[in-house]
């Protein structure tokens, strides 16, 4: 790969694709050329980026000739990623298609950047809920070794895409105006409501989002012994996921010690003001790359228990920013 790679963004019209473009510009990511790819229904549209007009092209198996790096997302990624690799590109994939493939590194740069060098053409971006939980848990795991994690997530509408965000806005307007609320994107009313994450429920009663958190954590931490359980829920928030995390560690770690660790950790911001009852909120983590951590306290139900509340923008660090960070490391390895 070149130091100034020829780049393609696959799924460019989606919420993550749009955010990815913004982050490429913010971080001054180097590229020799940029190709914008999407499904047939978006092909032919013009898109402005960095004072230039780009024509969105339909993504096909032949779209990757001369491309060095692909940022992939959307439903078309699974079918086309292998064609990009065959054409000589490295794919940073933001879908769930390749995450648990043993041949594909699953990477959070603050945790396992060394895995990037093991790629065989595809590097997977973890699930947004996994990233938001693990960035602040990793410093604790390194020092005290986490044995068990219990997670409860409060996931924004944006996790289901730009159309779900729009549905939340429209439902809120209709509800307050006394009009019937329409459900077209999400299975239940999201305005003024909370419901179990809208992914398929397995025979064991866990939904796919919860299973992802379990499996991905083990892979990223390189620790199959760690015990994890999760409950994932949609809440009427436009953007940024929050999570209540309860961990049990092998070694004792006080809230003050954890706070000190996290204050120095990359990608983490401690917001933990008990006196003012001021802790992480999705309203404030929207547009931020750091994962905010607060409510640090002892969990007295286990020997070495620690509880916390975290919040992070799942479109940025939970998706687009993490992908760009992976690509930045990839370029440095050349």
Catalytic center residues = 128, 241
Helix axes 321-332, 15-26, angle to 10 degrees: 50
Parallel, antiparallel, or unpaired for β 146-155 and 241-249? antiparallel
Residue 81 to residue 91: CA distance in whole angstroms: 7
**H or E element, residue 166:** helix 162-177
Residue 59 to residue 9: CA distance in whole angstroms: 10
Task: Report the greatest alpha carbon distance in the chain.
Answer: 60
Parallel, antiparallel, or unpaired for β 146-155 and 195-196? unpaired
Residue 134 to residue 141: CA distance in whole angstroms: 9
Among candidates 129, 136, 174, 134, which has minimal Cα distance to 152? 129
Residue 192 to residue 11: CA distance in whole angstroms: 31
For the record, the structure tokens of 84 come out as: 């990009």
Instruction: Check residue 245 and report its DSSP letter.
Output: E
Among candidates 199, 103, 106, 118, which has minimal Cα distance to 160? 199
């Amino acid at each position: 790969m070149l130091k100034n790679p020829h780049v393609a963004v696959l799924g460019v019209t989606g919420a993550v694709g749009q955010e990815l473009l913004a982050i490429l510009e913010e971080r001054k990511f180097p590229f020799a050329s940029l190709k914008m790819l999407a499904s047939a229904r978006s092909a032919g549209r013009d898109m402005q980026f960095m004072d230039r007009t780009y024509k969105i092209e339909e993504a096909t198996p032949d779209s990757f000739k001369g491309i060095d790096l692909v940022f992939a997302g959307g439903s078309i990624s699974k079918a086309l990623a292998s064609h990009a690799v065959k054409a000589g590109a490295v794919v940073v994939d933001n879908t769930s298609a390749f995450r648990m493939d043993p041949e594909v590194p699953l990477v959070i740069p603050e945790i396992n950047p060394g895995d990037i060098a093991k790629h065989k053409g595809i590097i997977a971006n973890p699930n947004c809920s996994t990233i938001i939980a693990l960035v602040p848990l990793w410093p604790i795991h390194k020092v005290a070794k986490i044995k068990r994690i219990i997670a409860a997530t409060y996931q924004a509408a944006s996790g289901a895409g730009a159309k779900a965000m729009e549905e939340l806005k429209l439902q809120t307007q209709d509800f307050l105006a006394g009009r019937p609320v329409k459900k077209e994107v999400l299975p239940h009313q999201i305005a003024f409501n909370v419901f179990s994450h809208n992914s398929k429920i397995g025979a064991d009663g866990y939904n796919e989002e919860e299973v992802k958190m379990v499996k991905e954590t083990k892979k990223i931490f390189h620790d199959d012994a760690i015990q994890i359980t999760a409950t994932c829920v949609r809440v009427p928030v436009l953007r940024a996921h929050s999570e209540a995390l309860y961990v049990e560690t092998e070694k004792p770690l006080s809230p003050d010690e954890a706070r000190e660790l996290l204050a120095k950790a990359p990608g983490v911001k401690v917001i933990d003001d008990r006196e003012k009852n001021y802790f992480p909120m999705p309203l404030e983590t929207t547009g931020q790359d750091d994962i905010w951590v607060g409510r640090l306290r002892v969990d007295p139900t286990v020997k070495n228990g620690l509880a916390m509340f975290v919040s992070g923008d799942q479109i940025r660090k939970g998706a687009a920013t993490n992908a760009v960070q992976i690509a930045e490391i990839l370029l440095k390895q050349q």
